[in-house]
């Protein structure tokens, strides 16, 4: 830093010149007295020294040699508390740890991730699943940086390939009725609420729902929001009028047993329904893959087909906007868009009306041909 006296300046004749140690950029600032300039230099020097000490201390505690496998284990032992999320994330990250677990986490490169993506594609995995696995890795690296285990995230600027939205075929009304008819009580409740309200089927939303969240008098449900960027802890979903008597009956039966959860198994809260759902599909004679989450897709699909507006539908499903619905249910919207275009009247009268083609009347058979035909038939007879 340097202080210069420049009497030709109209204001701030005492000028401080300095260079930023972080960016290398040159700066200057004028002051009216030498004392002000010196105090500024002293304060700026103290700030830079403190910043350097913080960085020096951070580097001292940063373990640049930590292996990726060790970093993953530390992350799961501290940062993840939900058992379902822990199980799913461990399953996905295992495939990356098998390839790069013995390598230092800080030395994972973008080329390594591109190689991993290519291998996963060759094994037949969808891009959506691959992106989930790479995203978990990037989350773990960010966590390592935040808690001083890594100096920086080597994949911070990596951009995942865009995945095409998967077009999910929801269960048909006939399939839903067959599954419902052979299911136990808690699966029937999931089918009812999943099909007619569209929540996320699992511990993040539907399995957290309590009877205290259900307002049968006003016909609304305060559905818990999943931790996916929602600002509110719950969203309000109106109850379909035909569903209110059914829920009232279920509420009265649970109230006698002092059961607080809407979805429960013998009074206990539910975490997973894989076994019960699979058994119900077998009893219903359904061989194709239908998951409980498909109930949410059934709600969206049939609502769109029924003419529901996208913005209110996205709000009821817990989406920030209608983009997810447009991407996931494009195959449903295509027919509606075509019908909308064709419904536009021909105001300019540019297109001729379609006329039914007229069939040409066949000429009558001459009498002599008819007589010859009769003679031929008589001969072969």
Q: How far is CA 180 from CA 185, 215, 256, 267, 271, in A?
A: 9, 25, 24, 20, 20
Q: For the structural domain made of 68-146, what CATH number should be given?
A: 1.10.150
The pLDDT value recorded for residue 348 is 57
Q: Which tokens sit at 247?
A: 């829920």
- Residues near 168 by Cβ (< 8 Å), separated by ≥ 6? 294, 297, 328
The pLDDT value recorded for residue 13 is 85
Q: Where are the domains of the chain?
A: 2-61, 68-146, 173-338
Which residue from 89, 104, 178 is spatially nearest to 137, judged by alpha carbons? 89
CATH class of 173-338: mainly alpha
Q: Which tokens sit at 97?
A: 């740890």
The pLDDT value recorded for residue 371 is 44
Residues 222-268 pLDDT 10s: 999 887 766 788 899 998 888 899 999 999 999 999 999 999 998 89
Q: How does DSSP classify residue 261?
A: B
The pLDDT value recorded for residue 99 is 92
Q: Which tokens sit at 189?
A: 């409740």
Residues 166-194 pLDDT 10s: 666 788 999 999 999 999 999 999 999 99
**HSE-up of residue 325 (Cα within 13 Å, Cβ side):** 26
Check: pTM over 0.85? Answer yes or no: no
The pLDDT value recorded for residue 167 is 66
Q: How far is CA 138 from CA 68, 133, 141, 310, in A?
A: 12, 9, 5, 33
The pLDDT value recorded for residue 370 is 39
Ranges of residues in the chain whose predicted pLDDT is under 50: 61, 359-363, 365-381
User: Angle CA(139)–CA(232)–CA(168) in degrees, nearest 5?
Assistant: 65
Task: Give kind and range of the element (H or E) at residue 275.
Answer: helix 274-284
The pLDDT value recorded for residue 345 is 61
Distance between start and end Cα atoms, the chain? 124
The DSSP line for 296-334 is: HHHHHHHHHHTT--HHHHHHHHT-SSTHHHHHHTHHHHH
Q: Measured between alpha carbons, how far is 126 from 139 in angstroms, rounded to an integer?
A: 20
Partnered with residue 16 across adjacent β-strands are 3, 29
3-state secondary structure of 144: helix
């Amino acid at each position: 830093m340097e202080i210069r006296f420049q009497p030709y300046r109209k204001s701030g004749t005492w000028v401080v010149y300095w260079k930023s140690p972080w960016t290398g950029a040159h700066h200057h600032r004028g002051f009216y007295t030498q004392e002000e300039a010196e105090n500024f230099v002293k304060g700026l020097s103290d700030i830079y020294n403190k910043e350097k000490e913080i960085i020096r201390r951070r580097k001292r505690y940063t373990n640049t040699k930590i292996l990726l496998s060790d970093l993953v284990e530390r992350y799961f032992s501290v940062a993840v508390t939900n058992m379902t999320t822990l199980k799913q994330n461990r399953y996905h990250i295992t495939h990356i740890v098998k390839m790069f677990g013995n390598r230092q986490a800080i030395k994972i490169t973008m080329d390594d991730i591109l190689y991993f993506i290519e291998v996963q594609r060759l094994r037949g995995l969808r891009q959506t699943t691959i992106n989930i696995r790479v995203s978990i890795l990037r989350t773990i690296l960010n966590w390592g940086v935040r808690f001083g285990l890594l100096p920086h995230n080597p994949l911070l600027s990596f951009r995942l390939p865009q995945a095409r939205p998967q077009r999910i075929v929801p269960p048909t009304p006939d399939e839903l009725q067959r599954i419902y008819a052979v299911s136990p009580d808690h699966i029937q409740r999931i089918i009812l609420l999943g099909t007619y309200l569209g929540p996320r089927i699992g511990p993040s939303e539907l399995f957290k729902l309590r009877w205290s969240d259900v307002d049968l008098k006003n016909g609304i449900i305060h559905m818990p929001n999943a931790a996916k960027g929602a600002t509110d802890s719950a969203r309000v979903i109106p109850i379909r009028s035909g569903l209110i008597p059914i829920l009232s009956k279920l509420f009265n039966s649970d109230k006698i047993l002092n059961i607080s959860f809407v979805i429960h198994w013998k009074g206990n809260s539910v975490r997973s329904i894989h076994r019960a759902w699979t058994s119900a599909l077998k009893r219903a004679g359904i061989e194709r893959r239908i998951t409980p989450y498909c109930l949410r897709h059934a709600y969206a699909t049939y609502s769109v087909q029924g003419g529901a507006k996208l913005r209110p539908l996205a709000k009821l499903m817990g989406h920030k906007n209608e983009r997810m619905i447009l991407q996931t249910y494009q195959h449903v919207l295509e027919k509606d868009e075509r019908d909308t275009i064709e419904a536009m009247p021909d105001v300019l009268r540019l297109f001729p009306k379609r006329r039914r083609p007229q069939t040409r009347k066949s000429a009558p058979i001459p009498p002599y041909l008819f007589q010859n035909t009769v003679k031929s038939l008589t001969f072969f007879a």
